[in-house]
Chain A
Amino acid sequence: MSRVLMLALLLALAANASAQTPVKLKPGDVAPQFTRSDLQGHPFDLRRGKVVLIDFWASWCAPCILAIPHLSQLQEKYGARGFQVVGVSMDDSASTTKETMRKIRFNYPVILGDAKLGNLYGGVLGLPLQFLVGADGKILATRAGEFPPTALDKEIAAALKKAGPG
């Protein structure tokens, strides 16, 4: 009987934990780790050692779509120096994202996000949303809403300089 009660208690705690308020992330916080398969068919693992731009986007988000060519350009410019963009699609289905990927060239991994991943990053309750993560795994900057891509270029260059030769 006590085992049944213990199990019920654990289940209740787990349910409560899943409904807890997500922690809002800020610069200096460690970027939560995650591992997923990208929609190009490769495993993606957010590990330390690279400067990573996590771009939460969706097919229905016009400013996000317009930013993708700029992000591809940044990937091309800084990829060899240890920079990685990862696109996290918040589309409701993989098929919607894949349809967009057929229309736009992505030169970086795209994974399908969900509420769980959104909550891990403090709640993705509006797009565009980006996190720039340093090589030490700590968040360098967060950006919500539209912004000029030129600012991002300077931040990436500074982060790579700080990280040293990759």
Chain B
Amino acid sequence: MRLAALIPILATLLLAPLTASAAPGDALTIPAAVQIQPAELVAMLKAGDTPPILQVGFSVMYQQAHIPNSQYAGPGNKDDGLLNLKSHVDALPRDKLVVIYCGCCPWEKCPNIAAAYKQLTGMGFTQVKVLYLASSFGADWVDKGYPVTRGG
């Protein structure tokens, strides 16, 4: 095998710690029972039955497009982002339904959503719903024609 062909393999091994540190939580650990599908949330929005919705991803994505009336409360992969999330929900009753979402990247690679879910359940919230976005917010929400607000 040529040295050039080995470079990506070696790089992958060397970069593994970097990517692991960027993924404090694992979305695959989020129970299916607490996941909510995009169409379900759209139905809730249409019914006017809107719970607090929090985007726990990255602000540059929130600034481009987000779910109407959702608030930016991230990023979940950083301590200050989790504090931001805490400040958004601290005053809410612990049995209040709260929806969180990210969609920065494919579900199983998301560095934010599991950490945010863990933060909320750790605070005692019993009605947390996590929006399941398989590929991304763009592909699974915006491209489906679901409602968005543009701009920060």
Contacts and interface: CB of A to CB of B under 8 A. Distances in A.
Nearest to B19: A62
Contacts of B33: none
B92 interface: no
Given A70-B8, A90-B61, 4 more contacts: A61-B22, A62-B23, A103-B15, A125-B64
B60 A125 contact: no
B152 interface: yes
B34 interface: no
Interface string A40-80: 00000000000000000011111111101110010000000
B104 A62 contact: no
Contact of A125 (B8, B12, B61, B112): B61
Interface in B1-38: 4, 7-8, 11-12, 15, 18-19, 22-23
Chain B contact residues (Cβ within 8 angstroms of A): what range?
35 or more
Chain A binding surface, main DSSP class: loop
A19 interface: yes
A145 B135 CA distance: 7
Interface of B: 4, 7-8, 11-12, 15, 18-19, 22-23, 58-61, 63-65, 75, 77, 103-106, 109, 111-112, 135-139, 142-143, 150-152
Contacts of B59: 92
Nearest to B57: A60
A92 B75 contact: yes
Contacts of B135: 126, 144-145
Interface in A104-156: 104, 113-115, 118-119, 123-128, 144-146, 149
B104 A60 contact: yes
A156 to B, nearest CB: 16
B58 A126 contact: no
B150 A69 contact: no
A125 B143 CA distance: 10
A144 B138 contact: yes
Contacts of B139: 125-126, 144-145
A130 to B, nearest CB: 13
